[in-house]
Amino acid sequence: MIGCDVNIRRVKSNMNWFTILFATLLTLVSSSTSAVGAAFHWTLDLPDAPNSSETGSNGSGDLRSPGLPWKEYFKKHTALKKMKLGIRIEGAQSLSKNEIGPMVPASVQKVFTAAAALKYLGSDYRFENSFSGDLDPLTMTLTSPKFKISGDPTWGHEAFEGELETTRENLNARLMKVVQTLREKLVHRVVGPILMESLRPELLEISRPAGWREGWSLECMAMMQTEFQANGNCGQFRISSISRFGWTTDGVSVPVRMRLSKSKEGSNSVRVTPMFDERGRIQEYVFSGYFSKGPLVFDLPVHQGSTWLRNLFIERIKEAGIAYDEAPREESKGAEFFPIHVDLSSRSMIEILQQAVQYSINGVMDRIFFEVGVQKESLDSGSWMEAMIRDLVGDESLMAGVRMEDGSGLNLFNRVRPDLVYAFLSRLRQEPYFDELFSTFAVAGKSGTLLNRATLVSSSHTYGRIHAKTGTLNGISNLAGYFLSQPGGTPEPFVVLSDSDLSAAKARPLIDGIVVNFAAQNSGKTQN
């Protein structure tokens, strides 16, 4: 048996973001034993498979019943009694349940982070990265090579590097800009050492959150912050046989110790043990147990960011026919050096958010949370976020029991109240950045984690009209956002939070059914 604490697959996936999305959905339909595609190493909010049945004989009844009075609706859908619900909806028939009780927001937390990013950083903000060096025109040698790095969470990430086909292309897209510049300048040798100037060294002071589940230590979706981040700080390790193994992701060189024996039973029983530093970053992996046949591919966190970048850079320039020396040699030099500079900064904040919120990418949203924290001089505390929310809603009573620990919603210590989330969504409509924020939400039947939510997609009241953020953790299925009662109408907020023993597959249609009923009650109504 393969350890359940690690992402593992039989084959390596090399597809772009949208191709992987499609392939993942097909995989979920065709096989219950296949692993989830690589695109979703970054989130717990997996989209549902297309055309999947969400109802079944679970006591839910017909979840697509249109516009019932709430008392009748809850009497009919008995499965809702198995859930603790926190609801705030206003419309033709308003509904409140446990609206003052603090609950875990899960990825609904990303709405607060996105709003903070647009408010404090701005939609044009970019994570700064660059390469520089001094060119000796006499020897055509580049000295003092230096990268400025900012902990940019989008570098090499399939969601942010364009229509690239492979992980390798994603990782090297920006480095190839450096290679192209060096070629244009006719550089034939680079002399090290390669310097790394971190613009956010404080990221290394952040410890693994106490509010993360222990089992997430080997999950790429729970991304530790590092000075340089690539591919979501996720690499692949492949075992083909007891004697053939290694990292298959370009540039990754995390130390590995192999303690595998040949399986006599003909089955794999491989355990992965991480060795941590004092702050919870993995310094080494130990593979132990019994191996029968492969290949086995493990998707594992990578926390040696600066080393990763150095390795990638040396590999790329050597491929381009440019020599690399770690230390300079004595030779004649020109009288004057010419500086070379290559901007490697990220896409704009709004472009980042339009992917990270729609697809619920945890590490990116946590990194944005910390970036705002730097600006607010409160890196390791959510107090600045609580202050932002308090100022916007203007009602101190709504903050009772509220706790903000991160930007992604992974932290189990987070707490929000349904009435607070509702008030926040309502007030956001008056903010100058609202239209940009609204563009980041997933849309039922059209984008992100709501692309194939069968209950929402099957109803004309909600298809294309629900713009919302999903939130999923073990036992938790949340949905909060806006409903358009008519095309071009005013976005109307709604909040449905839940906690239960039900699986996400069973809980989602119950949550979505409440939203469909609300939408049916209010579709086409005249707005002021």
- Per-residue pLDDT tens digits for 193-234: 999 999 999 999 999 999 999 999 999 999 999 999 999 999
- Relative to beta strand 141-149, strand 130-136 is antiparallel
> What is the predicted pLDDT for the residue at 27?
35
- Cα–Cα nearest to 175, from 317, 383, 368, 15: 317
How far apart CA 252 and CA 302 sit, in angstroms, is: 8
Does residue 15 carry a pLDDT above 80? no
Half-sphere exposure of 230 (CA within 13 A, CB side): 30
Tell me the average pLDDT across 156-185: 93
Provide the pLDDT for residue 379. 73
pLDDT for the residue numbered 239: 97
pLDDT greater at residue 56 or residue 166: 166
pLDDT tens, position by position, 93-122: 999 999 999 999 999 999 999 999 999 999
Cis amide prior to 295 (ω within 30 degrees): yes
| Cα distances (angstroms) measured from residue 398 to each of 50, 403, 404, 419 | 38, 12, 14, 7
pLDDT above 90 covers a percentage of the chain that reads: 79
**Inter-residue contact 498 to 507 (CB < 8 Å):** yes
Q: Which two tokens stand for residue 478?
A: 């949340």
What are the structure tokens assigned to 59, written together? 């006591």
Per-residue confidence (pLDDT) for residue 488, from 0 to 100? 79
What is each CA distance from 404 to 31, 476, 515, in whole angstroms?
38, 17, 26
Q: For 135, what's the count of Cα atoms within 13 Å in the CB-facing half-sphere? A: 16
Phi/psi at 443 (nearest 5 deg)? -120, 130
What pLDDT sits at residue 14?
A: 36
Tens of pLDDT, residue by residue over 488-497, are: 789 999 999 9
pLDDT band at 243 (very low <50, low <70, confident <90, very high): very high
- Burial tier of 302 (Cβ tally within 10 Å: 0-12, 13-18, 19+): buried
Comparing 327 with 283, the larger pLDDT belongs to 283
Characterize the bridge pairing of strands 83-89 and 7-9. unpaired
Pairwise CA distance, residues 362 & 366, whole Å: 6
Q: In sequence order, which ranges of 320-450 are alpha helices (DSSP H)?
A: 349-356, 362-375, 383-393, 418-428, 434-438
Looking at every residue in the chain, the average pLDDT score rounds to 88
Mean pLDDT of 34-46: 60
Cβ contacts of 376-382, under 8 Å, gap ≥ 24: 376/120, 379/202, 379/205, 379/206, 380/205, 380/206, 382/406
Tens digits of residue pLDDT in 161-174: 977 889 899 999 99
Q: Are 300 and 7 in contact (CB under 8 A)?
A: yes
Q: Flag whether pLDDT at 18 surpasses 70.
A: no
Domains of the chain by start residue, with CATH = 1-12+126-346 (no CATH), 41-123+349-522 (3.40.710.10)
What does the pLDDT read at residue 382? 84
* Residue 49 pLDDT grade (very low, low, confident, very high; cuts 50, 70, 90): low
Q: Which amino acid is at 299?
A: D
Higher pLDDT, 527 or 166: 166
CA distance 442 to 484: 14
- Residues 377-401: tens digit of each pLDDT: 877 678 999 999 999 999 999 999 9
d(CA 350, CA 117): 9
User: Quick check: 278 pLDDT over 60?
Assistant: yes
pLDDT for position 486 = 84
Position 348 confidence tier, pLDDT thresholds 50, 70, 90: very high
Does residue 246 have a pLDDT over 80? yes
Q: In whole angstroms, how far apart are CA 205 and each of 122, 152, 201, 459, 514?
A: 26, 16, 8, 48, 43
State the Cα–Cα distance between residues 148 and 345, nearest whole angstrom: 10
Task: Report which residue type is found at 266.
Answer: G
Q: How far is the C-alpha of 247 from the C-alpha of 227, rounded, in Å?
A: 21
Residue 119 identity (one-letter amino acid): K
Q: Is the pTM of the predicted complex or chain greater than 0.95?
A: no
Per residue, the 3-state secondary structure of 462-523, as one string, reads CCCCEEEEEEEECCEEEEEEEECCCCCCCCEEEEEEEEECCCHHHHHHHHHHHHHHHHHHHC
